[in-house]
């Protein structure tokens, strides 16, 4: 929609489910303040059909600009409680990023190849299940 508002759909072929997703950057990152965003998506990887998460995320790039840690507060409809995801994205070069993350319960590793209007992510879910994600914009 805009650089600060992203709306879309996510498809989970494992349970044949399509869900809306959204993310709004309420406060862009500055030299002194972190980026603050609000969003919603499916709850988590392996969550039951129809469960959603609602979250606020704080992220701040470290000096040098290659590493950006984040922390989040997420309400899980699946568990009916708050979770505290965290992680860090590391820029390897103009096309490749790697992210270590914890979704509040499980740890995952993601390797992303970025193209102008799409990306492909190889995932190591729960540090033992291999997955792939493809995203595009128009």
pLDDT digits (tens, 9 = 90+) for 57-103: 999 999 988 999 999 999 999 999 999 999 999 999 999 999 999 99
pLDDT band at 13 (very low <50, low <70, confident <90, very high): confident
pLDDT band at 12 (very low <50, low <70, confident <90, very high): confident
pLDDT at 16 over 90: no
Helix (H) or strand (E) holding 113: strand 107-114
Sign of CA dihedral 93, 96, 98, 103: positive
The pLDDT of residue 14 is 75
pLDDT band at 49 (very low <50, low <70, confident <90, very high): confident
What is d(CA 13, CA 72) in angstroms, rounded to the nearest whole number? 26
Of 2.40.128, 1.10.10, 1.20.5, 2.115.10, which CATH number belongs to 5-136? 2.40.128
């Amino acid at each position: 929609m805009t650089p600060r508002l992203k709306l879309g759909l996510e498809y989970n072929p494992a349970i044949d489910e399509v869900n809306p997703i959204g993310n709004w950057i309420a406060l862009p990152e500055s030299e002194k303040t972190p980026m603050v965003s609000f969003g919603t998506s499916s709850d988590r990887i392996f969550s039951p059909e129809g469960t959603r998460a609602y979250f606020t995320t704080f992220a701040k790039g470290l000096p040098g600009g290659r590493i950006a840690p984040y922390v989040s507060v997420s309400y899980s409809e699946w568990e009916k409680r708050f979770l505290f995801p965290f992680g860090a994205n590391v820029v390897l070069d103009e096309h490749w990023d790697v992210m270590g993350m914890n979704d509040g319960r499980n740890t995952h590793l993601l390797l992303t190849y970025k193209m102008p209007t799409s990306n492909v992510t190889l995932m190591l879910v729960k540090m033992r299940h291999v997955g792939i994600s493809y995203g595009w914009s128009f």
